[in-house]
Structure 1
């Protein structure tokens, strides 16, 4: 039972780490390759403190890790399967979108 509880707690903490639009976008960007804060900041058109704050949450939940290269820290996904998880989440979203569009089309026909 304790192992079950630990697994549920891990899953809960993991999904809490994902529960922010900027964190999701950061993970999508890191899925394409390692990046430092400045690169993420430029792509996201966001200030460094906001990006750093979200990276800290992802780091604390062991979703990403940073390696110091000179004066900058380069961030990577802790597990490459996160890329697959994001792809599955997108598929689920697309399926819901298709269902919603189909339902709207059915309503229009009546």
Structure 2
């Protein structure tokens, strides 16, 4: 029996739901990158990086190619980069909305007389 689409989407987002995996994907938006370069850019143990890359590779979100002794990772699709850009836009909108609400709240606080 096939997995319902909503369940497959939930599993996909769970796969993305780790800070190191997000950092890797953000880094790979600029293009293919070796594990050594990723470790230089992301402060994480080598074993943890390998584990997170394996999760992304099994899910088909990144690809790995061997160039001699070096393994180079890349995003499997430009859609992954677009998803990350969309998440950034959504978060920016959310934070902007919160800042506007905070400004309104501060304005209301300034208008209320202080008792004391």
TM-score by length of 1: 0.91
Say what the alpha-carbon RMSD is for the aligned residues: 1.4
- Aligned partner of 1:108 in structure 2 is 106
**Distance in 2 separating the partners of 1:4 and 1:72:** 36
Count of residues in correspondence between the two structures: 108
Structure 1: where are the runs of 5+ without partners?
A: none
What secondary structure is seen at the aligned counterpart in 1 of 2:98? helix
TM-score by length of 2: 0.86
Q: Output one character per residue of 1:7-56: Cα deviation in whole Å (capped at 9) or x when no partner.
A: 33332221111001110110010011101111100001222111111101
Structure 2: where are the runs of 5+ without partners?
A: 109-116
**Distance in 2 separating the partners of 1:62 and 1:95:** 29
Which structure has the larger Rg? 2
**Distance in 2 separating the partners of 1:104 and 1:36:** 43
Contact kept, 8 Å, 1:35 with 1:74, in 2: the verdict is: yes
What secondary structure is seen at the aligned counterpart in 2 of 1:65? strand
What secondary structure is seen at the aligned counterpart in 1 of 2:66? strand
**Distance in 2 separating the partners of 1:74 and 1:39:** 9
The question of 1:21 aligning with 2:29 is answered no
**Superposed structure 1 runs of 4+ greater than 3 Å apart:** none
